[in-house]
Amino acid sequence: MILLSLAFLPLVGQEVEWSIDATVLLNNREGGDGYTPDQTFMFTRLAPEVGVSMNDGQHVLKGGIVWYQPMIDDLSGYKLLPTLYYRYNRSDGWHVTVGLMPRSLMVRRMPRYLWSDSLDYCQPNLHGVMAQLVKPAGYAEIAVDWRQLQTDWRREAFAVMLNNDWRVAGPFRLGGHLQYSHLAKSRLGKENQHVNDDFIINPMAALDLSHQTALDSLRLAAGAIIAMERDRGDEHWRKPAGFVATATARWRWLQLDETFYTGQDLMPLYPALGSLLNLGDPYYHSKTYSRTDLTAHVVSNRFVDLSASLMFHATDRVTGLWQQITCRFYLDNHLWKQEKRTKD
């Protein structure tokens, strides 16, 4: 479809859309804390896309591929993931996307108690539909992601995600996150296999003090987390709850991110089902958990973000330390035109 559209570009007045998204990541995890294994992630990920747009970008059709390649001596362990989606953009802030789309199209990444780093590395695309409303005062977005389709031995899995954040008055903002994860049975599953549900709601209140301090950005947020999990084999709803607070501050090239959680085990079914049902970071098994990220953005512009991070994890039992180096390069036809105009 994309090649055919490109062939008729001169006839219908379409514009070529293209992008290149490349990531190199090294993440070394140490701690032996029992929540996440000591391991090292080293990979490159290349995601080129090409397509067409019509009516000044109102209708966009793009396709491509995601090449995930661990950094080893041969090509073993690689994954090729297709990307193909249609995106409808309106001038009043509405956007609707359907197909196999990059998660980077979301306004904000889901928090790690809903979407872990490990899944972020290996599942860069959403499979389904997403609707977004983006305004100067804030945004709201909802997405349905079919993570697996049912086969004789594979269980169907999908998730519904909602993000929103709005300015109320001055620096005060209200919003939150909601996620529903569903795990069905495989066709030939054993008798002890049951349908499972995981529902998490997280209303948040925030202060954005970026324009009231000497820092480049400063944001404080806090809210409750209420979860409900069910194994339909026993029809018992498990209802853990807790409190989460976050802080993000950046000054020039240095950034600090802090997340603190206290409450009950948010993932009571994780030992049995793992990330098939619970998509968040396993550290949220702990009744008290703190994650502190200290990041140096060595190179940071509109094309490249090269950063080095130290990530400190502290629970009610032990601590862990991750070291990470990340380089993301992104370029598309719009940034290319801006760069050419700047040089001219």
Q: What is the mean pLDDT of residues 209-219?
A: 92
For residue 263, what pLDDT is reported? 97
pLDDT value of position 74:
81
pLDDT at residue 340 is higher than 80: no
pLDDT band (50, 70, 90) for residue 2: low
pLDDT of residue 32: 64
Q: What is the reported pLDDT for 319?
A: 83
Confidence of residue 160 (pLDDT cuts 50, 70, 90): very high
Q: What is the CA radius of gyration of the chain?
A: 21
**Which of 278, 204, 192, 272 has its CA nearest to residue 240?**
278
pLDDT grade for 233, boundaries at 50, 70 and 90: confident
Over 70: is that where the pLDDT of 29 sits?
A: yes
Q: Mapping DSSP to helix (H, G, I), strand (E, B) and coil, where does residue 161 land? A: strand
**Type and span of the H or E element at 332:** strand 319-332
- % of the chain beyond a pLDDT of 70: 95
pLDDT per residue as tens digits for the range 33-43 = 677 888 899 99
- The pLDDT value recorded for residue 30 is 86
Q: What is the pTM of this model?
A: 0.90
Q: What is the DSSP string of 56-107?
A: TTTEEEEEEEEEEEESSSSSTT-EEEEEEEEEEE-TTSEEEEEEEEEGGGSS
Task: Tell me: pLDDT of 97 over 60.
Answer: yes
Q: What is 207-224 written as a DSSP string?
A: EE-TTSSSSSEEEEEEEE
Average pLDDT on 305-323 reads 92
Bigger pLDDT: 223 or 341? 223
pLDDT at residue 7, rounded to an integer: 58
Distance (Å, rounded) from C-alpha 113 to C-alpha 311?
Answer: 16
Residue type present at position 7 = A
Question: What sign does the dihedral 180-273-41-34 (CA atoms) show?
Answer: positive
Q: What is the pLDDT of residue 304?
A: 97
Q: What is the mean pLDDT of the chain?
A: 92
Q: What pLDDT is recorded for position 235?
A: 81
CB 102 within 8 A of CB 47: yes
200 pLDDT exceeds 80? yes
Compute the average pLDDT of residues 231-243.
Answer: 92
Q: Which pLDDT value is given to residue 333?
A: 93
The region of weakest confidence among 23-27, 135-139, 191-195, 262-266 is: 191-195
Judge whether residue 5 has pLDDT over 60.
no
Band the pLDDT of 344: cuts 50, 70, 90: low
Report percent pLDDT > 90 for the chain. Answer: 79
CATH superfamily name and code, 2-343: Porin (2.40.160.10)
Over residues 101-145, the pLDDT tens digits come to 999 999 999 999 999 999 999 899 999 999 999 999 999 999 999
Q: Report in angstroms the alpha-carbon separations of 301 from 22, 32, 88, 152, 338.
A: 15, 36, 28, 48, 13
pLDDT of residue 73: 80
pLDDT at position 296: 98
